[in-house]
A and B are shown apart, each in its own frame.
Chain A
Amino acid sequence: MRLQLAIVVALTATAHADPEGDTATVVARTSGYLDNDDTAISTSTIAVKAKPKDEIVVSARYTADAVSSASVDVITAATERWTELRSEVAGGVAWVDSSMQLSADYIYSHENDWDSHTIGLGGSRDFLNHNLTLGLGAGYVTNAVGRRDDMTFSEKLNAVSGSVRAVWPASKDDLLQVSYDIARATGYQASPYRHAFARGPAGALIAFPEQNPELRTRHAVTLRWNHHLLDDTALRSHLRAYVDDWGIASVTTGTELVYGLDDFELSGNVRVYAQRHARFYQDVYDEPRVYMTADRELSSFQDVFAGVRAAWVPLDDKLSIDLSFTGFYFRFPEFSRLPSRLGATAGLGLVWAL
């Protein structure tokens, strides 16, 4: 669930150009998520970005998720519908001049059974008369994994990550970016609630507590292409290839068409994803294995997201009000308990530049 929510959030926060204030920018967003796996989520965010000095940008954000779920994972854990509030606070500071940017960010998130601290550092610099930007990033996240109402369960999951990227204009209408990301996670990477199934001696299913490897190294290469089509019209596309040492390989591609008309901005986007399963994944295991998972996100699956967004930007670009809607469909051919999932998100945002 965690990964797929991140995808939804990333997609609904489409890469449009929000107004940016001379001294401060305030962003308020709310969105709703609903799928046919009996899960509903309401997300609200308030964020502030301020420039106390010309070259200093500070930012802060608070996000709250109210989750209600009776998904197939919940039911097979012999549990009834649960609801909970998830909170996340983030703060950052950046130093920006005409050709260089340095940033540091911190995020703390809390759930009933999960606490997370994330530190991120980044930097970029322009070269060749601003015709080439090179960037570096590094991150560290430490998670305390618990189990609801169970003080005896406590696990750790830590991860370090790094990234490099290059951005350059390929022509007066084209901007290209290529990036490489690596992340290495160590610790508890299973779910304390899920059970994997193996075929038992009588033909019925036998449940085993989920167990995943404690190490995972991920690699991703992403190519982004922004193309200016006509006046106030642009096409933003991306292609991402991913592999990890659990045997997962995936490809993501998507594009967004953005059209500006006076005080309005309209956009439509589509994204498709295809994944090959982790080497140890089986829907129903042929025999008990050391590593057994019931995580459908480790199976082979495909998904498609399609969305539209409309923004009204009055007051000389000092205010933006936007509405967005995204529908999605997941196909899990190797996960018999939920062969497909259909859902949608709808969002309302307000950006005020001061």
Chain B
Amino acid sequence: MKLAVVFVIGAIGCQDNLDAKLDLAALDRPYFDCKVQPVLTKSCGALACHGDPLRFFHLFSRNRNRLDPDPMQLNALMTTAERDHNFAAALAVIDADNTDKSEILLKPLAEAAGGWYHEGAELYKGGDVFTAKDDPDYQVLTDWIGGATEVPTCMEPGSGLP
């Protein structure tokens, strides 16, 4: 049976490159750890939002969602594994070919400012994460996606890094 299926599909023809690897945006890791991570912790990582492991773009942050489920570790310093995860999660919602259209930029931006619909804007009746593109935290995201870099010794306040 399996042979017959393979034969028929072969005769019809499958498209090429269906399992091609995705090239992610090559963005600066020190800038992310130093500047972007605090923005994500503050604005996205609440347990009812993207601190919920059931949601897409779920993030780890102190006192919220942690890789180690031990409640005694809730406020421990962010681990390298957690930072690796957050960095990968952020790259996953960046359109490497069209960075201006990246989900990480448009989802938290108010619709009036050109953003997408965001359930989080309605959840607490507080409006969207960023009401305008000139929000300093929003600028951190755009700068990072635009190619900004940071020295590896740059340290997020309170992070214990490097």
CB distance from B113 to the nearest CB of A (A): 11
Which one of B15, B56, B82, B89 contacts A78 once the chains associate, using CB atoms below 8 Å?
B56
Of A76, A278, A288, which is within 8 A of B55 by CB? Answer: A76
Q: Judging by beta carbons under 8 Å apart, are A149 and B85 in contact? A: no
Q: Are B14 and A245 in contact (CB under 8 A)?
A: yes
Closest residue of chain B to A294 (Cβ to Cβ) is B56
Q: Please indicate the chain B residues that have their CB under 8 angstroms from the CB of A148 in the complex.
A: 117
Q: Chain B interface secondary structure, helix, strand, loop or mixed?
A: loop
A195 at the interface (CB under 8 A from B): yes
Establish whether residues B56 and A202, one from each chain, have CB atoms under 8 Å apart when the complex forms: no
Range, interface on chain B? 35 or more
A201-B81, A206-B88 as given contacts; A245 in contact with B54, CB under 8 Å: no
* Least CB separation from B116: chain A residue: A150
Evaluate whether A147 and B15 lie within 8 angstroms (CB atoms) in the complex, with A78-B50, A207-B89 already known. no
CB distance from A303 to the nearest CB of B (A): 18
A125 to B1, CA, bound (A): 37
Contact of B17 among A205, A243, A290 (CB under 8 A): A290
Are B92 and A78 neighbours in the complex by a CB distance under 8 Å? no
CA distance A243 to B57 in the complex (A): 34
**Mask: chain B, 109-140; 1 = CB below 8 Å from A; 0 = not:** 00100111101100000000000000000000
- B9 interface residue per 8 A CB criterion: yes
What string of 1s and 0s marks CB contacts (under 8 Å) between B92-121 and chain A?
A: 110000000001001000010011110110
B92 and A290 contacting across the interface, CB-CB below 8 Å: no
Chain A residues with Cβ under 8 A from B60's Cβ? 202, 204
Q: Interface stretch among A28-36, A135-143, A208-216? A: A208-216
Q: Which of A80, A147, A195 has the most CB of B within 10 A?
A: A195
Q: Looking at the assembled complex, report how far the CB atom of A162 sits from the nearest CB atom of chain B, in whole angstroms.
A: 16
B15 engages A213 (CB within 8 Å): yes
Q: Chain A residue with minimal CB distance to B101?
A: A152
Instruction: Say yes or no: B103 contacts A202, CB within 8 Å.
Output: no
Q: A215, B50: Cβ atoms under 8 Å?
A: no
Chain B CB within 8 A of A331 CB: no
Which B residues lie within 8 Å of A249 (CB)? 5, 8-9
Tell me which residues across on chain B come within 8 A of A287, comparing CB atoms.
21
Is there a chain B Cβ closer than 8 Å to A238's Cβ? no
**Residues in A neighbouring B103, C-beta threshold 8 A:** 209
Q: 1/0 per position for B37-81, CB-CB distance to A under 8 A?
A: 000000000000110111111101000000100000000000001
Residue pair B81, A209 in contact (C-beta under 8 Å): no
Nearest A residue to B57 via CB reads A207
Chain A residues 146-192 with CB under 8 Å of chain B are 147-153
Contact of A291 with B by CB under 8 A: yes
Kindly state the separation between the CA atoms of A206 and B20 in the bound complex, as whole angstroms.
Answer: 18
Tell whether, in the assembled complex, residue B81 and residue A78 are in contact, meaning their CB atoms are under 8 Å apart: no
B85 x A204 contact (CB < 8 A):
yes
Q: Does B160 contact A (CB under 8 A)?
A: no
Asked whether, in the complex, the Cβ of B19 is within 8 Å of the Cβ of A279, the reply is: yes
Tell me the minimal C-beta distance from B90 to chain A in angstroms.
Answer: 9
Q: Does A314 contact B (CB under 8 A)?
A: no
Q: Which residues of A contact B14 (CB under 8 A)?
A: 245-247, 279
B18 lies within 8 A of chain A by Cβ: yes
Partner of B18 from the list A149, A279, A288 (CB cut-off 8 Å) is A279
B13 within 8 A of A: yes
Structural contact, B18 and A78, CB atoms closer than 8 A: no
- In the bound complex, residues from chain A placing their C-beta under 8 Å from that of B54 are 75-76
B153 shortest CB reach to chain A, Å:
22
B157 CB to closest chain A CB (Å) equals: 23
Assembled-state Cα–Cα distance A279/B57 (Å): 25
Residue B24 lies at the interface, judged by CB distance under 8 Å to chain A: yes
Q: Collect the chain A residues with CB atoms within 8 Å of residue B92's CB.
A: 198, 206-208, 288
Report the separation of the CA atoms of residues A331 and B13 in the bound assembly, to the nearest whole angstrom: 27
Q: Can you identify 27 A-B contacts, CB atoms within 8 angstroms?
A: A76-B56, A78-B49, A147-B117, A149-B111, A150-B111, A150-B117, A151-B111, A152-B106, A195-B56, A197-B56, A200-B84, A200-B85, A201-B84, A201-B85, A204-B60, A207-B57, A207-B89, A207-B93, A241-B8, A246-B14, A246-B18, A247-B9, A280-B18, A280-B19, A288-B24, A291-B19, A291-B20
A interface residues, Cβ below 8 angstroms from B: 75-80, 147-153, 195, 197-198, 200-209, 213, 215, 217, 219, 241, 243-247, 249, 276, 278-280, 287-292
